[in-house]
Amino acid sequence: MDVINQHTGERWYYSDIVKDHFFHPQNLLLDRPKNEDEFDAHGMVGSPACGDMMEMWMKVCPVGQAAADKAIMARQEHEVRIVDLKWKTFGCASAIAATSMFSVMLTENRGMTLAEALRVRPQDVMMRLGGLPNRKIHCSVLADKAFQKTANDYFRKNGLYDKIIVDGARVIDPRLNITDKDIEEAVLEGAQTLEEVQKKLKVGIGSPELTTEIEQLIRFYKEKYYG
């Protein structure tokens, strides 16, 4: 059955731009980076056990500077420019094409600032792709969610806890802005104990009153996903 391109009225499954980014994806990694320390932040959404999954790695530097200065980045988050954005995914053709275009948009013309990048909407990516079939629009959101996770990782690493994006989740550690979804994803990534979750997230460290709730969530998600 044909699909109507809502932007051009043409009948297709994928536009030529979508097909180009699927067959020739930009900034794609087939394997994890050999040296992840070269990047300033990392994020992952989804799980290979239940379908689409995506990881991102971001490298930044202060606007107007050739080399990254961590102290400046911590003080002036809005002046940080994205100079590299790599990704890998188990997603479908639409997810691959949308993420490829997303990575191009964020790094072209010397790169967007982090603040500008966080304002890019999935609709903006679809417009650059020439549209997606309606039943595949949800795939374009995967890159957006992965980038939010990557940005949050950068904020945490630099102590910018008030910048962390909390979307449809319950905050467990208000000091670090860590949510139940963060704990869920830590368990999905293999953390099985309080110590392992704290190693990933620093959640509850220095706040012993949160320990019971964190442990309850870990048990809940372990039973949910691993039986």
Distance CA 143, CA 121 (A): 10
Residues 33 and 116 in one domain: yes
Distance CA 197, CA 203 (A): 7
Report the share of the chain in percent with pLDDT over 70: 81
Kindly state the average pLDDT of the residues 170-176. 93
Among the listed residues 1, 30, 49, 50, the single catalytic one is 50
Among the listed residues 44, 45, 93, 139, the single catalytic one is 139
The CATH number of the domain holding residue 183 is 1.10.10.1100
* 170 CB neighbour count, 10 Å cutoff: 9
Number of structural domains in the chain = 2
Token code pair at residue 22: 């699927």
Residues 70 and 152 in one domain: yes
Residue 190 in any domain: the answer is: yes
Catalytic residue list contains 50: yes
Token code pair at residue 159: 């102590």
Catalytic residue list contains 92: no
Distance CA 218, CA 221 (A): 5
Distance CA 64, CA 216 (A): 47
Residues 20 and 104 in one domain: yes
Residues 27 and 81 in one domain: yes
Q: How far is CA 213 from CA 126, 170, 173, 219, in A?
A: 40, 12, 10, 10
pLDDT digits (tens, 9 = 90+) for 94-121: 888 989 999 999 999 999 999 999 999 8
User: Which position has the token pair 């013309």?
Assistant: 109
Residues 108 and 177 in one domain: no
Residues 152 and 191 in one domain: no
